[in-house]
Protein backbone atom coordinates (compact mmCIF):
# COMPACT_ATOMS: atom_id res chain seq x y z
CA UNK A 1 0.00 0.00 0.00
CA UNK A 2 2.70 2.49 1.00
CA UNK A 3 4.64 1.68 -2.13
CA UNK A 4 7.26 3.88 -3.72
CA UNK A 5 5.00 4.23 -6.77
CA UNK A 6 2.10 5.63 -4.73
CA UNK A 7 4.45 7.91 -2.80
CA UNK A 8 6.02 9.27 -5.99
CA UNK A 9 2.66 9.81 -7.69
CA UNK A 10 1.40 11.65 -4.61
CA UNK A 11 4.59 13.73 -4.62
CA UNK A 12 4.02 14.72 -8.25
CA UNK A 13 0.52 15.93 -7.39
CA UNK A 14 1.89 17.83 -4.40
CA UNK A 15 4.64 19.50 -6.41
CA UNK A 16 2.17 20.56 -9.09
CA UNK A 17 -0.07 22.08 -6.43
CA UNK A 18 2.90 23.86 -4.86
CA UNK A 19 4.05 25.30 -8.18
CA UNK A 20 0.49 26.44 -8.95
CA UNK A 21 0.26 28.29 -5.63
CA UNK A 22 3.72 29.74 -6.16
CA UNK A 23 2.82 31.11 -9.58
CA UNK A 24 -0.61 32.34 -8.50
CA UNK A 25 0.33 33.81 -5.11
CA UNK A 26 3.77 33.44 -3.53
CA UNK A 27 6.56 30.87 -3.62
CA UNK A 28 6.93 31.27 0.15
CA UNK A 29 4.02 28.87 0.58
CA UNK A 30 5.24 26.37 -2.03
CA UNK A 31 7.04 23.91 0.33
CA UNK A 32 4.14 23.73 2.78
CA UNK A 33 1.51 23.40 0.06
CA UNK A 34 3.51 20.71 -1.73
CA UNK A 35 3.95 18.68 1.45
CA UNK A 36 0.36 18.97 2.71
CA UNK A 37 -1.09 18.02 -0.67
CA UNK A 38 1.36 15.13 -1.08
CA UNK A 39 0.53 13.63 2.31
CA UNK A 40 -3.20 14.26 1.92
CA UNK A 41 -3.28 12.41 -1.40
CA UNK A 42 -1.16 9.53 -0.09
CA UNK A 43 -3.15 9.04 3.13
CA UNK A 44 -6.49 9.21 1.32
CA UNK A 45 -5.26 6.75 -1.28
CA UNK A 46 -3.89 4.07 1.06
CA UNK A 47 -6.68 4.19 3.64
CA UNK A 48 -9.40 4.19 0.99
CA UNK A 49 -7.90 0.93 -0.25
CA UNK A 50 -7.01 -0.72 3.05
CA UNK A 51 -9.68 0.34 5.57
CA UNK A 52 -12.53 -1.85 4.15
CA UNK A 53 -10.36 -5.00 4.13
CA UNK A 54 -11.32 -7.95 6.30
CA UNK A 55 -8.76 -10.16 8.02
CA UNK A 56 -7.93 -12.15 4.90
CA UNK A 57 -7.64 -9.03 2.78
CA UNK A 58 -5.41 -7.42 5.38
CA UNK A 59 -3.14 -10.47 5.44
CA UNK A 60 -2.94 -10.49 1.65
CA UNK A 61 -2.02 -6.81 1.46
CA UNK A 62 0.45 -7.19 4.34
CA UNK A 63 2.27 -9.88 2.38
CA UNK A 64 2.47 -7.52 -0.59
CA UNK A 65 3.89 -4.86 1.74
CA UNK A 66 7.18 -6.74 2.13
CA UNK A 67 8.68 -4.72 -0.71
CA UNK A 68 7.87 -1.38 0.96
CA UNK A 69 10.19 -1.62 3.97
CA UNK A 70 12.64 0.92 2.54
CA UNK A 71 9.73 3.20 1.64
CA UNK A 72 8.77 3.27 5.33
CA UNK A 73 12.16 4.73 6.22
CA UNK A 74 11.94 7.42 3.55
CA UNK A 75 8.41 8.41 4.53
CA UNK A 76 9.29 8.74 8.22
CA UNK A 77 12.45 10.69 7.33
CA UNK A 78 10.40 13.01 5.11
CA UNK A 79 7.84 13.51 7.87
CA UNK A 80 10.62 14.38 10.32
CA UNK A 81 12.23 16.74 7.80
CA UNK A 82 8.90 18.49 7.32
CA UNK A 83 9.19 19.79 10.88
CA UNK A 84 12.26 21.76 9.79
CA UNK A 85 10.24 23.21 6.90
CA UNK A 86 7.56 24.24 9.38
CA UNK A 87 10.12 25.94 11.62
CA UNK A 88 11.50 27.91 8.67
CA UNK A 89 7.99 28.90 7.60
CA UNK A 90 7.09 30.08 11.10
CA UNK A 91 10.30 32.11 11.37
CA UNK A 92 9.60 33.75 8.01
CA UNK A 93 6.01 34.59 8.93
CA UNK A 94 6.75 35.81 12.47
CA UNK A 95 7.53 39.35 11.36
CA UNK A 96 4.95 39.50 8.60
CA UNK A 97 1.33 40.55 8.41
CA UNK A 98 -1.37 39.84 5.89
CA UNK A 99 -2.89 36.77 4.24
CA UNK A 100 0.45 35.15 3.40
CA UNK A 101 1.51 35.09 7.04
CA UNK A 102 -1.85 33.70 8.15
CA UNK A 103 -1.78 31.06 5.41
CA UNK A 104 1.76 30.11 6.39
CA UNK A 105 0.79 29.52 10.02
CA UNK A 106 -2.36 27.58 9.13
CA UNK A 107 -0.47 25.44 6.63
CA UNK A 108 2.18 24.81 9.28
CA UNK A 109 -0.47 23.46 11.66
CA UNK A 110 -1.93 21.28 8.91
CA UNK A 111 1.52 20.10 7.85
CA UNK A 112 2.48 18.94 11.34
CA UNK A 113 -0.87 17.21 11.82
CA UNK A 114 -0.58 15.39 8.49
CA UNK A 115 3.03 14.40 9.21
CA UNK A 116 1.88 12.95 12.52
CA UNK A 117 -0.89 11.03 10.74
CA UNK A 118 1.60 9.80 8.14
CA UNK A 119 3.99 8.47 10.78
CA UNK A 120 1.18 6.60 12.54
CA UNK A 121 -0.06 5.23 9.22
CA UNK A 122 3.40 3.93 8.38
CA UNK A 123 3.53 2.19 11.75
CA UNK A 124 0.00 0.78 11.34
CA UNK A 125 1.06 -0.90 8.12
CA UNK A 126 4.33 -1.95 9.74
CA UNK A 127 2.49 -3.64 12.62
CA UNK A 128 0.26 -5.46 10.12
CA UNK A 129 3.31 -6.66 8.22
CA UNK A 130 5.03 -7.80 11.41
CA UNK A 131 1.90 -9.64 12.56
CA UNK A 132 1.15 -11.48 9.33
CA UNK A 133 4.59 -11.81 7.73
CA UNK A 134 7.38 -11.46 10.30
CA UNK A 135 5.56 -13.32 13.10
CA UNK A 136 3.11 -15.55 11.18
CA UNK A 137 2.87 -18.19 13.92
CA UNK A 138 2.87 -16.00 17.03
CA UNK A 139 1.47 -12.78 15.62
CA UNK A 140 3.38 -10.73 18.17
CA UNK A 141 0.34 -8.64 19.13
CA UNK A 142 -2.60 -9.65 21.33
CA UNK A 143 -5.77 -7.94 20.11
CA UNK A 144 -7.92 -9.82 22.66
CA UNK A 145 -10.25 -11.31 20.06
CA UNK A 146 -10.22 -14.49 18.01
CA UNK A 147 -10.87 -13.25 14.48
CA UNK A 148 -7.95 -12.14 12.28
CA UNK A 149 -7.12 -8.46 12.86
CA UNK A 150 -7.84 -5.94 10.12
CA UNK A 151 -6.12 -2.70 9.17
CA UNK A 152 -8.55 -0.84 11.41
CA UNK A 153 -7.22 -2.87 14.36
CA UNK A 154 -3.64 -1.99 13.48
CA UNK A 155 -4.65 1.65 12.99
CA UNK A 156 -6.20 1.61 16.46
CA UNK A 157 -2.93 0.39 17.95
CA UNK A 158 -0.75 2.79 15.97
CA UNK A 159 -2.82 5.92 16.58
CA UNK A 160 -3.27 5.04 20.26
CA UNK A 161 0.51 4.98 20.63
CA UNK A 162 0.70 8.16 18.57
CA UNK A 163 -1.69 9.99 20.91
CA UNK A 164 -0.77 8.55 24.30
CA UNK A 165 2.82 7.29 23.67
CA UNK A 166 1.69 3.95 25.14
CA UNK A 167 -0.38 0.91 24.20
CA UNK A 168 -3.85 0.33 25.62
CA UNK A 169 -5.52 -3.07 25.82
CA UNK A 170 -3.79 -4.11 22.58
CA UNK A 171 -0.62 -5.74 23.92
CA UNK A 172 2.64 -6.44 22.06
CA UNK A 173 3.71 -9.97 22.97
CA UNK A 174 6.96 -10.21 20.98
CA UNK A 175 10.20 -8.42 21.84
CA UNK A 176 10.65 -7.19 18.28
CA UNK A 177 7.19 -5.62 18.26
CA UNK A 178 7.88 -3.95 21.63
CA UNK A 179 11.08 -2.43 20.24
CA UNK A 180 9.23 -1.03 17.25
CA UNK A 181 6.46 0.28 19.51
CA UNK A 182 9.05 2.00 21.71
CA UNK A 183 10.59 3.78 18.72
CA UNK A 184 7.09 4.69 17.56
CA UNK A 185 6.23 6.19 20.95
CA UNK A 186 9.42 8.26 21.07
CA UNK A 187 8.89 9.57 17.54
CA UNK A 188 5.27 10.40 18.34
CA UNK A 189 6.40 12.34 21.39
CA UNK A 190 8.67 14.44 19.18
CA UNK A 191 5.78 15.17 16.84
CA UNK A 192 3.53 15.96 19.78
CA UNK A 193 6.07 18.54 20.90
CA UNK A 194 6.05 19.98 17.38
CA UNK A 195 2.26 20.22 17.37
CA UNK A 196 2.34 22.03 20.72
CA UNK A 197 5.00 24.48 19.51
CA UNK A 198 3.03 25.27 16.35
CA UNK A 199 -0.17 25.72 18.35
CA UNK A 200 1.55 28.18 20.70
CA UNK A 201 2.94 30.09 17.74
CA UNK A 202 -0.52 30.21 16.17
CA UNK A 203 -2.11 31.60 19.33
CA UNK A 204 0.70 34.14 19.66
CA UNK A 205 0.29 35.33 16.08
CA UNK A 206 -3.48 35.58 16.38
CA UNK A 207 -3.11 37.61 19.56
CA UNK A 208 -0.91 40.24 17.93
Would 30 be classed as within a structural domain?
A: no
Domain presence at residue 11: no
How sure is the predictor about 173, in pLDDT bands with cuts at 50, 70 and 90? confident
In a domain, 130, yes or no: yes
Say if residues 48 and 41 touch (Cβ distance below 8 Å).
no
Which residue in 164, 203, 205 sits closest to 181, CA to CA?
164
pLDDT digits (tens, 9 = 90+) for 55-87: 999 999 988 877 767 888 999 999 989 988 888
Q: Are 191 and 158 in contact (CB under 8 A)?
A: no
- pTM tops 0.75, yes or no: yes
Are 172 and 141 within 8 A, CB to CB?
yes
Query: Does residue 39 sit within a domain?
Result: no
Handedness of CA 182, 49, 115, 13 (dihedral sign): positive
Q: Which tens digits make up the pLDDT trace of 91-129?
A: 777 767 778 888 888 898 899 889 999 999 999 999 999
Q: How many CA atoms lie within 13 A of 15 on its CB side?
A: 6
Burial class from Cβ neighbours inside 10 Å (0-12, 13-18, 19+) for residue 20 reads: middle
Residue 12 forms part of a structural domain: no
In a domain, 116, yes or no: yes
Q: Which of 119, 89, 120 is nearest to 105 (CA)?
A: 89
User: How many folded domains does the chain comprise?
Assistant: 1
SS3 135: coil
Say if residues 172 and 140 touch (Cβ distance below 8 Å).
yes
Which pLDDT score, from 0 to 100, does residue 202 have?
67
Query: Does a structural domain hold residue 22?
Result: no
Residue 153 lies in a domain: yes
Render pLDDT for 1-37 as a digit per residue (tens, 0 to 9): 678 889 999 999 999 999 999 998 888 899 999 999 9
To the nearest whole number, what is the mean pLDDT of the chain?
87
Domain that holds residue 83: 55-207
CA–CA dist 65, 10 (Å, integer)? 18
Amino acid sequence: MLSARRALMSLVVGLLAGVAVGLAATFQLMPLVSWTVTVSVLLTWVWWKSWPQDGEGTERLAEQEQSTRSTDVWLIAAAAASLAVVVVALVQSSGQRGPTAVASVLLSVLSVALSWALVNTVYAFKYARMYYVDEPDLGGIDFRHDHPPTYSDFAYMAFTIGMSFAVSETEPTATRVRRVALGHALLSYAFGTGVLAVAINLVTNLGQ
